[in-house]
Structure 1
Amino acid sequence: MSAIDRRQFLRLAGLGGAVFASGLARTPAARAAAMANEDFFFVQLSDTHWGYEGPANPDARGTLPKAIDAVNALADKPDFIVFTGDLTHTTDDPRERRKRMAEFRDHIARLDVKTVRLMPGEHDASLDAGKAFREFFGPTSYSFDHKGVHFIVLDNVSDPGARLGDDQLGWLEKELAGQPADARIVVFTHRPLFDLYPQWDWATRDGARAVGLLSARQNVTVFYGHIHHEHHQMTGPVAHHSARSLIFPLPEAGSQPKRTPLPWDPAQPYRGLGFREVKAAPAAPAYALSEFPMKA
């Protein structure tokens, strides 16, 4: 008998014997409808800043491998993994930038999951308009569907002015227009789309236009990175959730004069670092978030 994981068993147990009688006879449309009624979860990691060296994380070269080990050790395998930007630390040297991206790519190849989704942060893309990122990882904005949810990846970092731009906003409008009014939509981006704290570059200059488009929908959630700590906010009906970093934590907006990393604590070496599980259930309009702190 083939192995079956806990989530699969619970789904089959809930369906009862009918699954064995009808599964093979389903049409493609019926199979798609059935998948839309499945629960699933994905893992969000963010701001790995591969290539960083400094006192804010003396274990900068060890933290990403440890995070990969932690994700691989999860009891259930996620449907996919997403990195919400700043995969690498900024550098003015194009050769060094590509070297860091190659090393990051080699590290994440160890992730024990079929699908890994990537997007750039400003450290990856603002100095060359995303050219090196596209060479290694493909488009900086795109969409995909998974088990009844429409996912949209927005690029608010390749423009050094922190803008989405008219073309991308037009594309977003078309993406939304192609979805039913009650469609479940998740947006991934790096910077916050709303003005969290523009003084620290925690904003998107034309993000209000994107939020306006998203706010016309019934069920939209945004997951982002950039600010290196958890933050949860509503803009009208749209929920926004930032993720912890995997390199160093940053302070809450305006809590200190400058946007400098929180100091490394040898007694708690990975304090403030971590990743997130996001669980989607068809009957629940919101997503269940579980935070996993990094451990030594």
Structure 2
Amino acid sequence: MGLHLPDRREFLGLAGLGGLVVASALPGCAQLGSPASAGEDFFFVQLSDLHWGYANPKVNPEPQQSLTRAIAAVNALPVQPDFVVFTGDLTQTTDDPKLRRARLREVQEMAAGLKAPKTWFFAGEHDAALDRGEAYLEVFGGALNYSFDHQGVHFVVLDNVSQPAPVLGGAQLDWLKEDLAGRPPEAPIVVLTHRPLFALAPQWDWATRDGDAAIALLSAHRNVTVFYGHIHHEHHQMTGHIGHHSALSVMFPLSPLGTAAQKTQLPWDAAQPFKGLGWRSVDWRAGAARPREHLLA
């Protein structure tokens, strides 16, 4: 009997992807079936908080393997994602501008090894806070905030990392208002950002000071889902009808909110060397975003 390989529709219907720890349409993810949300099924992959250049053997003694493992895991999928998005903190902070650029280029070169036909990048505070994104833009080009469309879904990338404070700023909020103008209220929108837009834990820098203004603009649309990074563990939050979903880190896990008195990098566990590290796939079917978390192995 010949080997049966799933076609695209069959693959998007699978629930048993390797390393799966969470599945299903989470609360706050788009569930509309209107013509405005129709389109071909597709899926994309989110990689976050690579922290390339990180060096603390007590937390991750094999830092160079984490990103290569994540890339290999995505490349091993039986069907490749439509695109891969890197949601910030591509590199570890350094005061050396030459080293910062070198690390960004190394990430760019490694990401070129992905089989997916398209990759999208944006900065985290480790990449952009010290120079307002100058090095990042020099290496990756483009803009720190931008939007694009894919299969009838509007994707919005917001920059809440390149200013000295964790803010979007008036100019970017004006840009967001203009970007959303004229889009039908039921049109599906996915927001990609690094820090959470809502005040998850301001004392740990897990917030955006003017994020409420962005949420207010987005709330006029009924079909909005936000994916972000920064907090290095899985978390799900609703602001009205908008769901916000954080991603695992590729490099090191942080203590989940409520489990430690202060933000803490979790120590390496030799028995479970990749515990708490991973990536996300997001299936988009019939107007619904279905995120799934995958552990590195």
The 5-angstrom pairing of residues 188-227 of structure 1 reads: 188-227=192-231
RMSD of aligned residue pairs (Cα, Å):
2.0
Higher relative contact order (CA 8 A, sep 6+): 2
Q: Write the distance in 1 (CA, Å) between the matches of 2:11 and 2:201.
A: 43
1:276 to 277, 280, 290: 280
Q: Which residue of 1 aligns with 2:291?
A: 289
Where 2:265 maps in the other structure, the secondary structure is coil
Equivalenced residue count is 270
Tell whether the 8 Å contact from 1:35 to 1:147 is kept in structure 2 after alignment: no
Where 2:212 maps in the other structure, the secondary structure is helix
1:254 and 1:170, CA in 2 relative to 1: closer, same or farther beyond 3 A?
same
1:150 matches 2:154? yes
The 5-angstrom pairing of residues 2-17 of structure 1 reads: 6-7=7-8
Q: Which residue of 2 aligns with 1:17?
A: none
Where 2:191 maps in the other structure, the secondary structure is strand
CA shift for structure 1 position 9: 7.9
Q: Which residue of 1 aligns with 2:49?
A: 47
Q: Write the distance in 2 (CA, Å) between the matches of 1:59 and 1:74.
A: 24
Deviates more, 1:124-133 or 1:175-184: 175-184
2:237 to 228, 233, 237: 233
Structure 2 unaligned regions, length at least 5: 13-34
Q: Write the distance in 2 (CA, Å) between the matches of 1:10 and 1:66.
A: 22
Query: In proportion to residue count, which structure has more helix?
Result: 1
Q: Percent identity?
A: 57
Q: Deviations over 1:155-214 (max 9, x none)?
A: 000012011000000000111113111110000000000000001000001111111111
Q: Write the distance in 2 (CA, Å) between the matches of 1:222 and 1:137.
A: 23
The 5-angstrom pairing of residues 60-209 of structure 1 reads: 60-138=63-141, 139-209=143-213
Where 1:168 maps in the other structure, the secondary structure is helix
Where 2:156 maps in the other structure, the secondary structure is strand
Q: Write the distance in 1 (CA, Å) between the matches of 2:149 and 2:197.
A: 22
1:203 and 1:35, CA in 2 relative to 1: closer, same or farther beyond 3 A?
closer
CA shift for structure 1 position 292: 1.0
Q: Deviations over 1:126-177 (max 9, x none)?
A: 0000011111112111000000100000000001201100000000011111
Structure 1 unaligned regions, length at least 5: 12-32
Q: Write the distance in 1 (CA, Å) between the matches of 2:36 and 2:291.
A: 24
1:242 matches 2:246? yes
CA shift for structure 1 position 62: 1.1
| Structure ID, larger Rg | 1
Tell whether the 8 Å contact from 2:37 to 2:188 is kept in structure 1 after alignment: no
1:231 and 1:95, CA in 2 relative to 1: closer, same or farther beyond 3 A?
same
Where 2:291 maps in the other structure, the secondary structure is strand
Tell whether the 8 Å contact from 1:276 to 1:289 is kept in structure 2 after alignment: yes
Moved over 3 A (4+): 8-11, 33-36
CA shift for structure 1 position 255: 2.3
Q: What is the TM-score when the length of structure 1 is the normalising length?
A: 0.87
Q: Which residue of 2 aligns with 1:56?
A: 59
CA shift for structure 1 position 36: 4.8
Tell whether the 8 Å contact from 1:122 to 1:160 is kept in structure 2 after alignment: no
